[in-house]
Amino acid sequence: MSETTSREELINAAATREKTIVRTSILGILANVFLAAFKAVIGITANSVAIISDAVNNITDALSSVITIVGTKLAGKAPDKKHPMGYGRIEYLSALIVSAIVLYAGITTVVDSVKKIIHPEDVNYSIVSLIILAAAVVVKLVLGAYTKAKGKKVNSGSLVASGQDAFQDAILSASVLVTAVIYLIWGIKLEAYVGAIIGLFIVKAGIEMILEAVNEMLGQRADAELSKGIKSTIAKEEAVHGVYDLFINNYGPDKNVASVHVEVDDSMTAHDIDTLTRKLQAAVYKEHGVILQAVGVYSVNTGDNEAARIHQDIRRMVLDHEDVLQMHGFYIDVETKQITFDIILDFSVKDRSARCAEIKKEVAAAYPDYNIFIALDVDLAD
């Protein structure tokens, strides 16, 4: 698969994704505006703070959809000299804004409900208002399921957040409906208390969504299924003896660029390595949609039984330490008397350099005739 083909596929996929997000968001805007209008009229007529708050919540949902569209459009801008990898990460910012709106809606719901608990007011529900509230619950459930499904399909954090918010709205509207029925039948006023409880759940959901968006913006560990899948794909190649140091850079949803190290025979030529690299890049993109930008090489000693023996001995020695997660990139230069390899330490190790020095001292004591060079790698992927 050529680089041109890869880019064309990426462009087409990005265009399809953008259209899906925009269409879904516009549908959400229309639905929420209509629901907000109906609920506002009912809330004012019935003198219900809970219903009015629910209407305000629908307005915030419509605003969230507008922000999602703007974020998607900005994220779809073509790469330029200042941002050569494009603007895809803007979507994480829009998801953060949507999450903040959800949090705000939850806080205002709690505040309004508490005010009504302290200063209760008479309400005046009608059958028509109950029917509209029931319809609103159904609409929100359908809208939430549809939006969340589309968000997962195109990997849009903003749509997923909007879909989750719609489910929360459905619960809120349902609670208002139930309290209205209870009031009509038994005359018991519960809407303020139920509203406060639901508001707290919305606050919790908002905080969780904010944390998720922040994690995406900061950069977090690659998805275990994806990283293991990529390593498995690379390891299938007969010339590859080991796969290490997989590093995945994320530049927005569905925009992943990776680098990796592979162990190969020291007898391979530059032509052999180039052929292998291109084959690995094509396989990784085809199976995982990830651009394998760079493939580094660790040379494995071949045709030297003594080198193999020393390798196994040092490997056993190093991996006997519980805080050493991995050892790789081992190579012996017999002429210069040098041994080099990389190790990965557990994140629980406080002083990584000191720990590496201890391991180096232990290996050097076992092989005093050699100069030992140990490189510290980071546990980046599963």
Which CATH number is 363's domain given?
3.30.70.1350
Structural domain that includes position 296: 224-377
Q: Report helix, strand or coil for 78.
A: coil
- The pLDDT tens digits for 316-353 are 999 999 999 999 989 898 888 999 999 999 999 999 99
* Contact residues for 360 (Cβ-Cβ < 8 A; gap 6+): 372, 374
Q: Do both 129 and 272 map to the same domain?
A: no
Domain membership of residue 305 (yes or no) is: yes
Domain membership of residue 373 (yes or no) is: yes
Q: ∠ CA(157), CA(57), CA(119), 5° rounding?
A: 140
Residues 252/86, Cβ–Cβ less than 8 Å: yes
Q: Mean pLDDT over residues 189-210, rounded?
A: 79
Instruction: For tokens 């023996």, name the residue.
Output: 309
Give the domain CATH number at 127: 1.20.1510.10
DSSP secondary structure of 195-259: HHHHHHHHHHHHHHHHHHHHHHHH--PPPHHHHHHHHHHHHTSTT--EEEEEEEEESSTT-EEEE
DSSP assignment letter at 323: T
Domain boundary among 218, 246, 275: 218
Rounded to 10 deg, the angle between the 49-75 and 191-218 helix axes is 10
User: How far apart (Å, rounded) are the C-alpha atoms in residues 5 and 338?
Assistant: 44
Instruction: For tokens 């779809």, name the residue.
Output: 76
pLDDT value of position 1: 46
| pTM of the shown model | 0.63
Domain boundary among 183, 218, 253: 218
Strand pairing category for 242-250 and 338-345: unpaired
Q: Do both 124 and 234 map to the same domain?
A: no
Q: Is residue 5 scored above 50 in pLDDT?
A: no
- The pLDDT tens digits for 183-194 are 888 888 887 787
User: How far apart (Å, rounded) are the C-alpha atoms in residues 2 and 9?
Assistant: 11
Domain membership of residue 382 (yes or no) is: no
> What sign has the CA pseudo-torsion 143, 148, 151, 157?
positive
pLDDT tier for residue 8 given thresholds of 50, 70 and 90? low
Residue 98: what residue type? V
Q: Do both 78 and 123 map to the same domain?
A: yes
Higher-confidence residue of 209 and 238: namely 238
- The pLDDT tens digits for 77-129 are 777 888 877 777 787 787 788 788 878 888 987 888 888 889 887 777 778 87
Domain boundary among 174, 201, 218: 218
Total count of domains within the chain:
2
Q: Is residue 161 scored above 80 in pLDDT?
A: no
Q: Do both 254 and 355 map to the same domain?
A: yes
